Amino acid sequence: MAFRRRTKSYPLFSQEFVIHNHADIGFCLVLCVLIGLMFEVTAKTAFLFILPQYNVSVPTADGETVHYHYGPKDLVTVLFYIFITIILHAVVQEYILDKISKRLHLSKVKHSKFNESGQLVVFHLSSVIWCFYVVVTEGYLTNPRSLWEDYPHVYLPFQVKFFYLCQLAYWLHALPELYFQKVRKEEIPRQLQYICLYLVHIAGAYLFNLSRLGLVLLLLQYSTEFLFHTARLCYFADENNEKLFNAWAAAFAVTRLFILTLAVLAIGFGLARVENQAFDPEKGNFNTLLCRLCMLLLLCAAQAWLMWRFIHSQLRHWREHWSEQSAKRRVPAAPRLAARLIKRESGYHENGVVKAENGTSTRTKKLKSP
């Protein structure tokens, strides 16, 4: 299965070969795991890659339900879904983004940002839909107290754990994609910043058993990011279309307020009132004053940093806008050329010579010396 039609061949396992065929290599590895399901000897190992591990039967009022907790084997599952994500990334790039960018005739800088926003629009849209479905079906929106009640939330439903594993796989796959997509050196630090921020927050919510709060915060964050990257795609299609950026600016500020309020409410007040307050990593309990302060400090610092960058970019954008407007006003009007008064001599013209009315030339004749 080839994702790109190539006319140029590269040496086997060379740098260019890996870059241009990384999706095909990932597909072969995924196919090997799927083939392993067909044989009894390798089926158990193959399921280790595909399905979430550490399932536990939890008794409920209606009977028993299967829940999951985290462990070291989750790294194997995340590795498998990293290859799945690499394949999906290549499919979106080849069959959607490349075809659109060819019609837009973008520069190299805009082309790189267009590919980045195109990939993130697809990811954020699918994540918002998936996260909203999980939050609604689990009842976290209708019962906000469930975000901190019965902490620690060690046992997770299948859809919650699978969602977190896929989120970790996507943001981990974004690291090698910086190399595969040949991202410009100027863009790498900026992309590494938000990739690491997502990894730290998602892994923190997963490992510290704050999965319910993390789902709601991700829903808010992904909704805002989806709006931003959609606005940027519309801007690349039509540079005069900046209305969505205004909507994103308003949504960004409101989202920061909601995230901070919800985090302080759940961690600062909710967990502080829970009876089980102890530091017990074996049972997944991290409900101590120091841990809560560290969590709140991390969240507040991240939101403050995002807000500072947002304000800085908005001020720069406004300065550029006003400088352009003032430059247009200062441009002087084109001076009108004074009408030259052409003094016509009396008589008429004949063969380029002005003749007098009596037919003689108006030029003075030179007298010949005798």
Residue 102 lies in a domain: yes
For the segment 199-210, the average pLDDT, to the nearest whole number, is 94
pLDDT confidence of 251, banded at 50, 70, 90?
A: very high
| Whole-number percent of the chain with pLDDT over 90 | 52
The answer to whether residue 192 scores a pLDDT higher than 90 is yes
Angle 12-18-19 from CA coordinates, rounded to 5°: 140
Question: Cα dihedral angle (142, 143, 146, 149), rounded to 10 degrees?
Answer: 180
pLDDT tens digits, residue range 313-327? 888 877 876 777 677
For the segment 224-247, the average pLDDT, to the nearest whole number, is 87
Mean pLDDT value across the chain = 84
For tokens 């594993």, name the residue. 165
Residue 111 lies in a domain: yes
Amino acid identity, position 64:
E
pLDDT confidence of 142, banded at 50, 70, 90?
A: confident
Using DSSP's 3-state secondary structure scheme, residue 23 falls into helix
pLDDT tens digits, residue range 91-140? 999 999 988 888 888 888 888 889 999 999 999 999 999 999 999 999 89
- Burial class for 277, CB neighbours closer than 10 Å (0-12, 13-18, 19+): middle
Q: How many CB atoms lie within 10 A of CB 353?
A: 11
Residue 11 lies in a domain: no
For the segment 232-255, the average pLDDT, to the nearest whole number, is 86
Residue 276 lies in a domain: no
Largest CA distance in the chain: 143
Q: How many CB atoms lie within 10 A of CB 122?
A: 17
| Number of residues written out for the chain | 370
Residue 216 lies in a domain: yes
For the segment 299-323, the average pLDDT, to the nearest whole number, is 87
The answer to whether residue 302 scores a pLDDT higher than 60 is yes
The answer to whether residue 355 scores a pLDDT higher than 70 is no
Residue 88 lies in a domain: yes
Q: What is the pTM of this model?
A: 0.83
Residue 281 lies in a domain: no
Cα(54)–Cα(341) distance, rounded to whole angstroms?
Answer: 98
For tokens 């990739």, name the residue. 195
Please report which residue ranges of 105-210 form alpha helices under DSSP H.
Answer: 108-138, 158-180, 188-207
Q: Which residues of 91-102 are buried (b: 16+ CB within 10 A; e: fewer)?
A: ebbeeebeeebe
Q: What is the pLDDT of residue 229?
A: 94
Q: Domains in the chain: how many in total? A: 1
For the segment 262-278, the average pLDDT, to the nearest whole number, is 89
pLDDT confidence of 305, banded at 50, 70, 90?
A: very high
For tokens 């009876």, name the residue. 275
Residue 34 lies in a domain: no
Range of the domain at 67: 51-238
Q: Which residues of 57-77 are buried (b: 16+ CB within 10 A; e: fewer)?
A: eeeeeeeeeebbbbeeebeeb
The answer to whether residue 345 scores a pLDDT higher than 60 is no
1 or 72, which is more confident? 72
| Whole-number percent of the chain with pLDDT over 70 | 85
203: DSSP letter:
H
Q: What is the pLDDT of residue 162?
A: 95
The encoded tokens of residue 172 equal 């981990």
